[in-house]
Amino acid sequence: MVETRFTRLVGCSVPVQQAPMGPVSPPGLALAVAAAGGLGTLHAMHSAAEVEAACGLLPEQTPGALALNVLVPFVDRPTLELAARRCRVIDFFWGPPDPQLVELAHRSGALAGWQVGSIESARAAADAGCDLVTAQGVEAGGHHDGRSALMPLLEACRRELDVPVLAAGGIGGAEDVERVMAAGADGVRVGTRFIATDESGAHPRYQQALITAQAEDAVETDRFSIDCPLCPSHHGVLRRSLEAAEVRRGQVVARLGENGIPAFAGMPPLAQMEGELEAMCMYAGRGVAAVRAVQPAAAVVAELAEGAARASSRGAARR
């Protein structure tokens, strides 16, 4: 067990949150992370019934907790209210901090968190009443809501905010966790590493591409924008997927059932897809360097917890 302001607030035994990653992160992944002591996150595309079902599978006595990610442009208030009664955290992203949404989460019994990409947004989140803030650097995979590297953003948040701050972007292994917690983070939010887990919804070829990648193979682009609800945006992907999509530009590269998926669509390769998956959007951050095998989510949480424990033993974790 590693105690920080984040773990005390949320009720986790490990200061690790699994990032929401759309259908690549199904409920089974969130539940596995919670069972291992972290904060497992249900993604924003879940219906109220799916949230209810997932929360019903979480044992009453668990070392972790669940969050629901909410994309601000697509808020479904009935689902938010239901989730706030069942999940410990409502986790907002992709929009200016809104005191009314924070109050709605609080009124229904949940904590409210906001992922931000600038110190201005971080201040706004704290002023809106958020209980915690996630500082996302451009080293992250997936969609970026700012243009700052993680460490200067984390330092600014640490200096100015009184609420717990999670670090996100480029964090894949125990050494990364130790580094950011030594810099003052109360915990970490990790995405790419959890794609290569047994519980992930990613296609095995996507997982294998992560395993063979190095940090420099994760690049930032704005090209995967077809049928992407968060676009236009900058997003972190594997360079090889960007190059393969360019070769197949204007063509269908994969299929999900009867539906064709064109090159430069925002959809990542899922386990049930077929086709030239290497030309699909393989989201990845610079923490991909730590991905070396497909593992159970619990094993990933345990490794990340080692980094937190080392930081704590040095007196670096904020208490």
- What is the phi/psi pair of residue 121, to 5°? -70, -35
What is the arithmetic mean of pLDDT over 105-125? 98
Residue 213 has pLDDT above 60, yes or no: yes
CA 220 to chain centre: 17
pLDDT-derived band at 194 (thresholds 50, 70, 90) equals: very high
Per-residue DSSP letter, 283: B
pLDDT at position 297: 98
pTM summary value: 0.96
Which residues does residue 252 pair with via DSSP β-bridges, in sequence order? 262
Q: How confident is the model at residue 313 (pLDDT cuts 50, 70, 90)?
A: confident
How many angstroms from the chain centroid is the CA of residue 99? 22
Give the side-chain half-sphere CA count within 13 A for 208: 6
Predicted pLDDT at 241: 98
Enter the DSSP assignment of 215. Answer: G
Whether 316 shows a pLDDT value over 80: the answer reads: no
* Distance of alpha carbon 78 from alpha carbon 87, whole angstroms: 14
Quick one: CATH architecture of 5-198+294-313? Answer: Alpha-Beta Barrel (3.20)
312 falls in which pLDDT band (50, 70, 90)?
Answer: confident
* Token pair for 159: 């200096």
Residue 268 has pLDDT above 90, yes or no: yes
pLDDT digits (tens, 9 = 90+) for 9-68: 999 999 999 999 999 999 999 999 999 999 999 999 888 999 999 999 999 889 999 999
The per-residue pLDDT for range 76-104, each reduced to its tens digit, is 999 999 999 999 999 999 999 999 999 99
| Three-class SS state of 239 | helix
Identify residue 287 by its one-letter amino acid code: G
Residue 317 has pLDDT above 90, yes or no: no
Q: Which residues pair with 93 in a beta bridge?
A: 71
Q: Where in the chain are the domains?
A: 5-198+294-313, 204-288
Cα gap 231→244, rounded to integer Å: 20
> What average pLDDT score do residues 165-189 get?
97
Q: What is the mean pLDDT of residues 256-273?
A: 96
Please report, as a single letter, which amino acid is at residue 36: A
Q: What is the pLDDT of residue 315?
A: 72
CB 181 within 8 A of CB 154: no
pLDDT band at residue 318 using 50, 70 and 90 as cut-offs? very low
pLDDT tens per residue, range 269-287: 999 999 999 999 999 999 9
